[in-house]
Amino acid sequence: MKKAILYFTLFFIYISSITAQNHTVSGIIRDSLSRESLISVAIVERSKNIFTFCNEYGFYSISLPKGKNTLDIILLGYRKKTININSQNDTVLNIDLYQIDISLQQIIVKADIPQMNYYNLPMAKISKMPVIGGETDVLKALQLAPGVTSGNEGSASLNVRGGSPDQNLFLLDGVPVYNVNHVFGFFSVFNTDALKRVKLIKGGMPAEYHGHVSSVVDLYMKEGDLGKIRGKFTIGLISSKFILEGPVIKDKSSFIVTARRTYIDALFRPISKAIADNTITGYYFYDVNAKWNYKLSERSHLYLSFYSGKDKGFVKNDKKDNHDPDILKINTKQEIAWGNNTGTLRWMKIFGHKLSMNNTLFYTKYKYNSANEYFVQEKIEDDIVTKQYDLYNGSGIEDLGYKLNVDYFMSKNNKIKFGATVSQKKFFPNFTSEQFFDNSSLKDTIVKDKQISSATATAYEYSLYAQDNLSIGKFNTIFGVNANAFYVNGKLYYFIEPRMNLICNISKNINIQTSYSQVHQYLHLLTNSSLGMPTDLWVPSTENLNPISAEIYDAGCKLKLLKNIYVGLSIYYKTLDNLIKYKQGTDFMDVKTDWQDKVTIGNGRAYGIEFFAQKNNGKIKGQISYTYSRSFRTYEYINNGKEFSYIYDRPHNLNIQTEYQLNKKIMFVANWILMSGQNKTYGYERFVIEDIGELNTSLSYSYISDYNNIRLPIYHRLDLAFNYTNKREKTTRIWYLGIYNIYNRLNPFYMERSSQRNALTGISYAPITPFVSYSVIF
Amino acid sequence: MKKTILILIIISVLSCRKDFYYDFDHIPQVNVSCFLKAGDTVRVRLSYLVGDTLFGTILADKDYISKADVYLYEDNIFQEKLTYKEIPQINFVEKGWYYSQYFIPTEKHHYNLKIHVPDYDTVYAETYIPEAIPIDSIQINGEALKDSIIFDRNLASSVPDGILDFSVNIFFKDKSGTTNYYDFWSNKFFISYDPAIEPRYNREYYENISLAALKIAFFSDEIFDGHTYAINTKFKIDDYKFDYISEFPIKLGLNSLSYDAYAFYKSSYLYLKSLDNPFTEPVIIYSNVKNGTGVFAGISSVEDSFLIVPSQN
């Protein structure tokens, strides 16, 4: 408690010592066509070396000295706007920016040198990247960031700086999304057409975020065009999607709806019927995003957004027993389904020229279900007898909460942010029930409905934060504190987490940065070692299981080498405590054992060095990034308590991305990825032990020297994509063609025993794969 | 549900599956197999670590080591160089065995093995034989055990399959101050729901045939450290239904295990339980052998018995 008081005292002394008197220019920055607010726009007064960025909701406020000032308004993908302003009084200035072809951007200024820990990706760039199946994916694009590795071949999972996928906080319009995978991780749940902006924060965690120890992926949905109805329809090899947006009341209210669905099930239905008569096998996923916004006034907006997505796989069998005419019907059905639902109601209000406030009410739910149903109907004498047995199993997590964020642009050098979050979390780590119906005794009908297990927990999470972004000369400091608490099963955990960033702009072309973050995570994801399964369980910290605790240190520098070339280097070190993992030999499908009895507690450490070089304009653009990183884990009941190399410990990771804009219509994109193979635990040797037990039994065992004893061969592949854009009078048509893994590298998805000694068979599911999609924009 | 998930995974990706081989470096290693029992002759079997295949692996004669020097130490004092033996069986000869000629290990001592195999690094292993813990008393169906117990033969016909079942409590006093490990055994099949017994092996016996090979009910003193404890078991005797059996002995034993034996049993149990189940976490078999694989583990035991005598009715 003393520590908490000390932090807060220091923080408020620090803030109160900083004041300045200037005139303020403030307003909202919007897209000129859709009238949607924009994010991360830089507002720069070059001659006086003053700059600021608008917040996540497009609001900016900049303090300028009296007299004439020239403001440059800059955002990647938009034409730079220069505004001369004679600053005498506080002024409201809403600014519209014009979107330009991304290939023509010339927008690098000092203020654009981002923090090394942030990775911003324009959606226009993501939509041109080559991906398997042609389904562009925001998380696969983020995998190319330095310090980020992927999981299995084709997986959209993110492993940031030695962390695990569950340690990333995914926020969709400020709402946590718990399961970000479709098709066992091959696609993410985020439809790129619905998104306006995505930002990955790898370190130097801003104080407003808490609850996940590795990274934050902040995604913002589009708001809908306030001016006219627009849309896009895309048809691809495995899915189709559409987006429709437009005004409800012109310049006052707008909507956007996007939807996507795969048709693997429809394509596979005749094949499954051919393989087994009366059997239908299928798999599909869909997701729907919708958002409505209403302008209460120029300075007050209301937003309502919604997301729903689901994956479902099933095997149905419907038959009649030909050998026994008395069996009238036998039906069996097995299915699994999982998905998220989120909803947000946000009210944004601007007070005066310096303060904007966002109140958000949010709801998020992730649910996984499986069902096994057996039904038989038979004729016994003159009676029809029915027997039915159903077994249901599932897990889930549900949040309902409120969030307040306030941005206060105190002075030209000082921006303060503070807020609070309170949420109720309900956990359903495992529920299993069975139903049994039988009227075969003809006199008495037997009905059983039994709950086998139903472990639930309700928890409350609270967070208060304050952060000050202060510029003094060449130095820019971001100092913040997040105080958060978690109440579960009568146990209260609370932490005061200091967050510090120091940026020194040594010259116009060089800056160096260092940061320190302390973060705690109250949620744990229990996952198996093989696939990213929907059966993974979100479980809370409990009275016996402390929250994950992480400390992250990093430092880096970024410099401008030539006119358009930037290079950067950063290093990091991270410690992780109170991690959990299934004990060795645990069957994660065993629903009868409480999850707390199946886990072991451990810790981890990770470190690395990241390098990147970037060319952001011209006909040829690109980025090269290389990361050397290591990540280790130690658990009491795994690997005999010895430290082992983590599954996502991939020391070398090299990504090269290039884009070539041939002309306004044609663009080529190439990505080459090279990284160390994944770690796996496999035995390919054997030994025999004699004289076991009282029967002196002899048993043969597979030999595994250590957990994650095998590093799979080096992973590499080259992907090419070709974009052809044909603009017509009323529509734009886009052909998106490409080849995934063009030189057919067989990267293993998993390994299994081989027919040869001292060998394993590698199974690859992503050989050379062409893809195509066609979009019409109107 | 497992089946559903497996089917879906297989179907969804089967169409683009490509298989290819990866060869891994096989580092030859010596495998040691020895449970050192207080009061028994020492016997060690040496073999090589061999490459595994999809079709299973049976060790050939060449996979057993016949030219090794095996030295045994008690409390760091050299005791004996073990003698190589080949043991004739009906159709073959078991190779790779090394026996003590004179030396008999005893409880409460540390033991070391030092093994020289040509072209290999010297292999070391160390273990401890714990003190045997006597069985204080035995209760059958809640009554103190005498030398024999008389059951009404007709009881057997009143239960399915003629199985006679009865409950046995085995009392013993755990030593405080250290973590102690045990295993309970009998010559007849039993089921135990005792909370101390970890493997739940006996109750899983019917579910998993691969576990049947490992007839061990091991446990630690975690829940009764330093106290007298009664291990509860349920015996199911199906021999009793046969008329020609007049009486037969039930043997009970309580082994005190070294940590090495306990850790090996535990990993063995998890390993066998997880065989053929792709949804389990991988299991590493415990080994305390340096520069090699396998196990060298100390055990001491006590034994008791009683007779089942059918009534003359």
| SS (HEC) of A709-767 | CEECCCEEEEEEEEEEEEECCCCEEEEEEEEECCCCCCCCCEEEECCCCCEEEEEECCC
Q: Do A757 and B50 touch (CB under 8 A)?
A: yes
In the three-class reduction of DSSP (H, G, I as helix; E, B as strand; rest coil), residue A11 is classed as helix
Banded pLDDT at A104 (limits 50, 70, 90) = very low
Q: What is the pLDDT of residues B294-305, one digit of tens each?
A: 999 999 999 888
Closest by alpha carbon to A378, among A439, A430, A421, A318? Answer: A439
User: Do residues A81 and A155 both lie within one domain?
Assistant: no
Q: Do A584 and B282 touch (CB under 8 A)?
A: yes
Least confident of A333-337, A430-434, A739-743: A430-434
User: Do residues A164 and A108 both lie within one domain?
Assistant: no
Banded pLDDT at B46 (limits 50, 70, 90) = very high
User: Do residues A211 and A104 both lie within one domain?
Assistant: no
User: Do residues A444 and A559 both lie within one domain?
Assistant: yes
Least confident of A152-156, A365-369, A721-725, B71-75: A152-156
pLDDT of A572 higher than 80 = yes
Backbone angles phi, psi at A3, to 5 degrees: -60, -40
In the three-class reduction of DSSP (H, G, I as helix; E, B as strand; rest coil), residue A259 is classed as strand
d(CA A77, CA A220): 17
Q: How many residues does chain A have?
A: 778
Q: In chain A, which residues have their Cβ closer than 8 Å to the Cβ of B267?
A: 584-585
Q: The tokens of B126 are what? A: 């160390």
Closest by alpha carbon to B167, among B150, B187, B151, B191? Answer: B191
Average the pLDDT over A520-547 and give the result: 79
pLDDT of B196 higher than 90 = no
Banded pLDDT at B14 (limits 50, 70, 90) = very low
- Looking at A66, A83, A113, the residue that finishes a domain is A113
ipTM of the complex: 0.87
pLDDT of A17 higher than 50 = no
Q: What was the pLDDT predicted at B82?
A: 96
Q: What was the pLDDT predicted at A596?
A: 83
User: Do residues A484 and A622 both lie within one domain?
Assistant: yes
pLDDT of A469 higher than 50 = yes
In the three-class reduction of DSSP (H, G, I as helix; E, B as strand; rest coil), residue A554 is classed as strand
Could you say which residues from 100 to 129 on chain B have a Cβ atom under 8 Å away from some Cβ of chain A? none
pLDDT of A127 higher than 70 = yes
Q: The tokens of A450 are what? A: 């039994």
Q: Do B51 and A710 touch (CB under 8 A)?
A: no
Q: Would you put residue A695 in left (φ > 0), alpha (ψ -120 to 50) or beta?
A: alpha
User: Do residues A109 and A136 both lie within one domain?
Assistant: no
pLDDT of B213 higher than 60 = no
Asked if residue A621 is part of any domain, the answer here is yes
d(CA B239, CA B164): 9
Asked if residue A57 is part of any domain, the answer here is yes
Please check whether residue A591 is in contact with residue A393, taking contact to mean a CB–CB distance below 8 angstroms.
Answer: yes
Q: Do B214 and A753 touch (CB under 8 A)?
A: no
Average the pLDDT over A13-40 and give the result: 68
Is the CB of A121 inside 8 Å of chain B's CB atoms? no
Please check whether residue A527 is in contact with residue A495, taking contact to mean a CB–CB distance below 8 angstroms.
Answer: no
Number of domains in chain A: 2
Asked if residue A613 is part of any domain, the answer here is yes
Could you say which residues from 272 to 311 on chain B have a Cβ atom under 8 Å away from some Cβ of chain A? 272-274, 277-286, 293-295
Burial A374-390 (b: 16+ CB within 10 A, else e): bbbbbeeeeeebbebeb
Q: In chain A, which residues have their Cβ closer than 8 Å to the Cβ of B22?
A: 712-713, 748, 751, 754, 759-762
Alpha helices (runs of H) in A250-354, residue ranges in sequence order:
264-275
Q: In chain B, which residues have their Cβ closer than 8 Å to the Cβ of A707?
A: 282, 284
- Looking at A113, A144, A167, the residue that finishes a domain is A113
Q: Searching chain A, which residue's CA lies closest to the CA of residue B19?
A: A763
Cβ count within 10 A of residue A456? 11
Higher-scoring residue by pLDDT: A530, A216:
A216
Q: What was the pLDDT predicted at A223?
A: 86
pLDDT of A531 higher than 60 = no
Q: The tokens of A399 are what? A: 């949040």
Q: Do A701 and B295 touch (CB under 8 A)?
A: no
Residue A228 makes CB contacts below 8 A (sequence gap 6+) with A246, A247
Average the pLDDT over A84-98 and give the result: 81
Asked if residue A126 is part of any domain, the answer here is no
Beta bridge partners of A62: A25
Is the CB of A266 inside 8 Å of chain B's CB atoms? no
Residue A426 makes CB contacts below 8 A (sequence gap 6+) with A397, A398, A399, A456, A457, A458, A459
Average the pLDDT over A617-622 and give the result: 84
Could you say which residues from 635 to 654 on chain A have a Cβ atom under 8 Å away from some Cβ of chain B? 638-640
Mutate to test the interface with A, among B3, B4, B265, B289 (most CBs of A within 10 A): B4
Is the CB of A458 inside 8 Å of chain B's CB atoms? no
Q: What was the pLDDT predicted at A20?
A: 44
Least confident of A340-349, A728-737, B40-49: A728-737
Q: Do A586 and B33 touch (CB under 8 A)?
A: no
d(CA A142, CA A118): 11
Could you say which residues from 190 to 249 on chain B have a Cβ atom under 8 Å away from some Cβ of chain A? 213-216
d(CA A114, CA A201): 11
**Considering CB atoms only, which of A530, A687, A692 is closest to B31?**
A687
Segment (H or E) for A193: none
pLDDT of A108 higher than 60 = no
Q: Searching chain A, which residue's CA lies closest to the CA of residue B63?
A: A687
Beta bridge partners of A523: A540
Q: The tokens of A398 are what? A: 């549900």
Higher-scoring residue by pLDDT: A105, A588:
A588
**Considering CB atoms only, which of B16, B53, B57 is closest to A700?**
B57
Is the CB of A109 inside 8 Å of chain B's CB atoms? no
Please check whether residue A483 is in contact with residue A208, taking contact to mean a CB–CB distance below 8 angstroms.
Answer: no
Mutate to test the interface with A, among B265, B283, B286 (most CBs of A within 10 A): B283
Is the CB of B55 inside 8 Å of chain A's CB atoms? yes
Burial A622-640 (b: 16+ CB within 10 A, else e): bbbbbbbbebbbebebbbb
Higher-scoring residue by pLDDT: B209, A414:
A414
Q: Searching chain A, which residue's CA lies closest to the CA of residue B30?
A: A687
Is the CB of A393 inside 8 Å of chain B's CB atoms? yes
Asked if residue A118 is part of any domain, the answer here is no
Banded pLDDT at B142 (limits 50, 70, 90) = confident
Segment (H or E) for A9: helix A2-16
Secondary structure in 3-state letters for chain B: CHHHHHHHHHHHHHCCCEEEEEECCCCCCEEEEEEEECCCCCEEEEEECEECCCCCCCCCHHHECCCCEEEEEECCEEEEECEEEEEECCCCEEEEEEECCCCCCCCCEEEEEEEECCCCCCEEEEEEECCCCCEEEEEECCEECCCEEEECHHHHHCCHHHCEEEEEEEEEECCCCCCCEEEEEECCCEECCCCCECCCHHHHCCCCHHHHHCCCEEEECCCCCCCEEEEEEEEEECHHHCCCCCCEEEEEEEEEECHHHHHHHHHHHHHHHHCCCCCECCCCCCCCEECEEEEEEEEEEEEEEEEEEECCC
User: Do residues A288 and A184 both lie within one domain?
Assistant: yes
Please check whether residue A121 is in contact with residue A141, taking contact to mean a CB–CB distance below 8 angstroms.
Answer: yes
Asked if residue A523 is part of any domain, the answer here is yes
Q: What was the pLDDT predicted at A748?
A: 84
Provide the residue type at B274 as one letter: S
Asked if residue A693 is part of any domain, the answer here is no
Domains recognised in chain B with CATH numbers:
30-129 (2.60.40), 135-285+298-310 (2.60.40)
Q: In chain A, which residues have their Cβ closer than 8 Å to the Cβ of B5?
A: 313, 336, 370, 533, 535
Q: In chain B, which residues have their Cβ closer than 8 Å to the Cβ of A585?
A: 267, 269-271, 273-274, 280-281, 283
Q: How far is B188 from chain A (nearest CA, A)?
A: 12
Segment (H or E) for A50: strand A50-53
Mean pLDDT rounded to a whole number for chain A: 83
Q: In chain B, which residues have their Cβ closer than 8 Å to the Cβ of A529?
A: 281-282
**Percentage, residues of chain B above pLDDT 90:** 41
pLDDT of A12 higher than 70 = no
Q: Do B51 and A686 touch (CB under 8 A)?
A: yes
Q: Do B214 and A699 touch (CB under 8 A)?
A: yes
User: Do residues A238 and A162 both lie within one domain?
Assistant: yes
Q: What is the pLDDT of residues A671-720, one digit of tens each?
A: 999 999 888 888 888 899 998 877 788 889 989 988 998 888 899 999 99
Q: Searching chain B, which residue's CA lies closest to the CA of residue A683?
A: B52
Banded pLDDT at B308 (limits 50, 70, 90) = confident
Q: Do A757 and B26 touch (CB under 8 A)?
A: yes
Q: What was the pLDDT predicted at A18?
A: 45
Q: What is the pLDDT of residues B244-286, one digit of tens each?
A: 556 778 888 899 999 999 999 989 888 888 887 777 888 999 9
**Percentage, residues of chain B above pLDDT 70:** 77
Distance in angstroms between the alpha carbons of the first and the last residue of chain B:
52
User: Do residues A138 and A107 both lie within one domain?
Assistant: no
Asked if residue A682 is part of any domain, the answer here is no
Higher-scoring residue by pLDDT: A539, B152:
A539
Cβ count within 10 A of residue A289? 26
Banded pLDDT at B8 (limits 50, 70, 90) = very low
Q: In chain A, which residues have their Cβ closer than 8 Å to the Cβ of B96?
A: none
Banded pLDDT at B203 (limits 50, 70, 90) = very low
Q: What was the pLDDT predicted at A579?
A: 94
Q: Which CATH number covers residue A63?
A: 2.60.40.1120
**Considering CB atoms only, which of B24, B34, B47 is closest to A760?**
B24
Domain that includes residue A631, residue range: 132-677+712-777
Mutate to test the interface with A, among B280, B293, B304 (most CBs of A within 10 A): B280
Average the pLDDT over A332-361 and give the result: 90
Q: What was the pLDDT predicted at B118?
A: 93
pLDDT of A107 higher than 50 = no
Q: In chain B, which residues have their Cβ closer than 8 Å to the Cβ of A749?
A: 13
Q: Do A584 and B281 touch (CB under 8 A)?
A: yes
Task: State the count of interchain CB pairs (< 8 A) between A and B.
Answer: 226
In the three-class reduction of DSSP (H, G, I as helix; E, B as strand; rest coil), residue A130 is classed as coil
Q: Searching chain B, which residue's CA lies closest to the CA of residue A695?
A: B215
Q: How far is B136 from chain A (nearest CA, A)?
A: 21
Q: What was the pLDDT predicted at A112?
A: 42
Is the CB of A370 inside 8 Å of chain B's CB atoms? yes
d(CA A631, CA A572): 12
**Considering CB atoms only, which of A535, A586, A639 is closest to B280?**
A586
**Considering CB atoms only, which of B54, B215, B280 is closest to A755?**
B54
Q: What was the pLDDT predicted at A122?
A: 76
Segment (H or E) for A123: helix A123-126
Q: What was the pLDDT predicted at A102?
A: 44
Please check whether residue A476 is in contact with residue A505, taking contact to mean a CB–CB distance below 8 angstroms.
Answer: yes
Least confident of A49-58, A320-329, A371-380, A478-487: A320-329
d(CA B151, CA B306): 13
Give the Cα-Cα-Cα angle A117, A119, A121 (nearest 5 degrees).
175
d(CA A283, CA B10): 12
pLDDT of A423 higher than 90 = yes
Banded pLDDT at A447 (limits 50, 70, 90) = low
Q: Do A583 and B281 touch (CB under 8 A)?
A: yes
Q: In chain A, which residues have their Cβ closer than 8 Å to the Cβ of B127?
A: none
Place of tokens 């927008």: A107
Average the pLDDT over A646-670 and give the result: 90
User: Do residues A106 and A195 both lie within one domain?
Assistant: no
Q: Which CATH number covers residue A558?
A: 2.40.170.20
User: Do residues A255 and A392 both lie within one domain?
Assistant: yes
Please check whether residue A482 is in contact with residue A517, taking contact to mean a CB–CB distance below 8 angstroms.
Answer: no
Q: What was the pLDDT predicted at A125?
A: 76
Q: In chain B, which residues have their Cβ closer than 8 Å to the Cβ of A694?
A: 185, 187, 215-216, 253
Banded pLDDT at B53 (limits 50, 70, 90) = confident
Q: What was the pLDDT predicted at A232?
A: 92
Higher-scoring residue by pLDDT: A432, A440:
A432
Provide the residue type at A477 as one letter: T
Distance of CA A525 to the CA centre of its chain: 15
Is the CB of B19 inside 8 Å of chain A's CB atoms? yes
Average the pLDDT over A489-516 and give the result: 91
d(CA A558, CA A508): 11
Is the CB of B33 inside 8 Å of chain A's CB atoms? yes
User: Do residues A185 and A58 both lie within one domain?
Assistant: no
Q: What is the pLDDT of residues A200-248, one digit of tens each?
A: 999 889 999 999 999 999 998 888 888 889 999 998 888 889 999 999 9
Q: What is the dihedral of CA A104, A108, A109, A115, to 10 degrees?
A: 140
- Looking at A78, A113, A148, the residue that finishes a domain is A113
Q: Do A688 and B47 touch (CB under 8 A)?
A: yes
Average the pLDDT over A125-142 and give the result: 78
